[in-house]
């Protein structure tokens, strides 16, 4: 079933949203992107004459009630965004009466799902090495199923619109779908858009295809780097991983970030790129700093010859040109991970050069997908989020989808 084809009139819809929004120390939302992202789905259901039961996690309460992560803190913001009152169920697993009392057009927000360990379904307080672990896991899976059935019992139809958690097989993201037949479960609009964006990147690729992988480490990106190697024409590797490559090639990298156990892997990636005819673009020069702070002294130097006591913190001017050249002519672009410590204004030029080249390519007809927390923060910082084709809300979920893995949250609905 698709959300467009379903008439919610008189129906109760339980919607898994991602309201895991950042809060300041007073419990005020600092960025409401995720709430706004869910609005098209929620408004469609209300406009049809349905009622809404909203469920989400927030933070990592690890299966215990913790007021710091209470969704009660955001109830009024959700109400404001929806333009209607929102009721609150302080116990997500004890909301049958509140759900049953909902009239068309009414909204009920359930308390944080992760106050129950059943949401994530991991046994608590037992080590994986413990001989009793398997038993505990089995018992937890059984109570997870019951927890999911309880949530399902509140509603006639299930909608999953939480892309950020689609790579998790949790009670509310996947297990709950077993309680609904194919005509009564569907993806929300945000999920549909995310799936479409990944599809644009993976199938029917318009060439050249340039992927830009940055961030701090090779190790966390290796799965996607190897997977992209079979698809891209240009692969830019930047950010902290630059120095693992430089060291692997015999460079002196000073205090720069380096994964010493990944030097062989770096050489292997270079070999694979050569064999597969992929144009691998690595930094040649960098901005080196004498301390990890925005006010550090800096100098431009070769990534192969960074002085002792200095560390590479951003792409240098030659590198920025190389990156921009590999991006400007592209027709498909994927960007995940910054080219430097962009959080410090003085080390944001590399990431800015990438963002600006992506915008230029997009204006020339490229499809550009920016995803993963830090690159999204980058385009937001530069005010360019509206100038790329698509900004994904999913970090881990996006990378797993692009690696070609089936996301449990999507499989649970689409089969």
Query: Residues in the site for ligand AMP, rule: CB under 6 A?
Result: 215-217, 220, 239-240, 257, 312-313, 337-338, 340-341, 343, 374
Please, what is the minimum distance in Å from the beta carbon of residue 216 to ligand AMP? 4
| Residue tagged 């299966």 (tokens) | 63
- How close are the terminal C-alpha atoms of the chain, in Å? 12
Residues 6+ apart with CB under 8 A from 248: 263, 264, 266, 267
Question: Please, which residue, 340 or 409, has the CB nearer to ligand AMP?
Answer: 340
Nearest-approach distance from CB 403 to ligand AMP, in angstroms: 15
- Residues 247 and 340: their CA atoms lie apart, in Å, by 17
Instruction: Indicate the residue among 39 and 249 with the shorter CB distance to ligand AMP.
Output: 249
* CB-CB neighbours of 108 under 10 Å: 21
d(CA 384, CA 374): 14
Q: Which is nearer to ligand AMP, 313 or 359 (CB)?
A: 313
- Cβ closer to ligand AMP: 61 or 312? 312
Render 73-110 in DSSP notation, one character per residue. GGHHHHHHHHTS--EEES-TTS-HHHHHTPPTT-EEEE
d(CA 192, CA 183): 17
Q: Strands 209-213, 185-187: parallel, antiparallel or unpaired by DSSP?
A: unpaired
- List phi, psi (to 5°) of 14: -100, 120
Residues forming the active site: 34, 217, 373, 396
3 state SS of 385: helix
Least separation in angstroms between CB 276 and ligand AMP: 24
Task: Tell me how far apart the alpha carbons of residues 118 and 250 are, in angstroms, rounded to a whole number.
Answer: 50
As measured in angstroms, the least distance from the Cβ of 202 to ligand AMP is: 21
Nearer to ligand AMP, 216 or 302 (CB): 216
**Structural element, H or E, at residue 324:** helix 317-328
CB of 8 to ligand AMP, least distance (A): 38
* Residue 382: DSSP 8-state: T
At its nearest, how many Å lie between ligand AMP and the CB of residue 310? 12
Distance CA 141, CA 137 (A): 6
Residue 160 vs 393, nearer CB to ligand AMP: 393
Residue 173: half-sphere exposure toward Cβ, Cα within 13 Å: 25
Contact call for residues 211 and 334 (beta carbons, < 8 A): yes
Instruction: Indicate the residue whose CB is closest to ligand AMP.
Output: 215
Sign of the C-alpha dihedral computed for residues 40, 44, 47 and 53 taken in this order:
negative
Q: To the nearest whole angstrom, how small is the minimum distance from the Cβ of residue 313 to ligand AMP?
A: 5
Closer CB to ligand AMP, 181 or 261, in the complex:
261
């Amino acid at each position: 079933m698709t959300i467009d084809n379903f008439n919610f009139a008189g129906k109760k819809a339980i919607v898994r949203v991602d309201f895991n929004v950042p809060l300041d120390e007073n419990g005020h939302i600092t960025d409401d992107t995720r709430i706004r992202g869910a609005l098209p789905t929620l408004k469609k259901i209300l406009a049809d004459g349905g009622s809404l039961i909203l469920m989400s996690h927030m933070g990592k309460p690890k299966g215990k009630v913790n007021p710091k992560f209470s969704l009660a803190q955001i109830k009024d913001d959700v109400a404001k965004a929806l333009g209607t009152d929102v009721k609150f169920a302080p116990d997500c697993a004890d909301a049958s009466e509140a759900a049953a009392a909902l009239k068309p057009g009414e909204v009920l927000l359930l308390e944080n799902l992760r106050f129950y360990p059943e949401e994530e379904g991991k046994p608590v307080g037992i080590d994986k090495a413990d001989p009793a672990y398997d038993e505990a896991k089995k018992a937890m899976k059984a109570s997870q199923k019951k927890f999911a059935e309880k949530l399902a019992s509140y509603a006639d139809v299930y909608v999953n619109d939480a892309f950020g958690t689609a790579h998790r097989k949790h009670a509310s993201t996947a297990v709950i779908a077993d309680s609904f037949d194919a005509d009564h479960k569907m993806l929300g609009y945000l999920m549909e858009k995310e799936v479409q964006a990944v599809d644009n990147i993976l199938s029917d690729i318009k060439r050249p295809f340039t992927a830009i992988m940055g961030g701090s480490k090779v190790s966390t990106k290796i799965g996607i780097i190897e997977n992209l190697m079979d698809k891209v024409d240009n692969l830019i590797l930047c950010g902290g991983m630059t120095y693992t490559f430089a060291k692997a090639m015999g460079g002196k990298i000073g205090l720069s970030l380096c994964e010493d156990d990944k030097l062989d892997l770096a050489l292997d990636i270079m070999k694979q790129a050569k064999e597969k005819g992929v144009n691998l673009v690595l930094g040649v020069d960098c901005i080196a700093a004498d301390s990890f702070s925005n006010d550090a002294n800096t100098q431009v130097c070769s990534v192969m010859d960074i002085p002792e006591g200095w560390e590479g913190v951003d792409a240098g001017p030659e590198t920025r040109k190389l990156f921009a050249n590999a991006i400007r002519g592209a027709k498909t672009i994927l960007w995940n991970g910054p080219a430097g410590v962009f959080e410090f204004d003085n080390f944001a030029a590399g990431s800015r050069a990438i963002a600006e080249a992506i915008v230029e390519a997009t204006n020339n007809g490229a499809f550009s997908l920016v995803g993963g927390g830090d690159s999204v923060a980058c385009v937001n910082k530069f005010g360019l989020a509206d100038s790329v084709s698509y900004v994904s809300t999913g970090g881990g979920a996006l990378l797993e989808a692009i690696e070609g893995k089936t996301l449990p949250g999507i499989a649970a609905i689409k089969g």
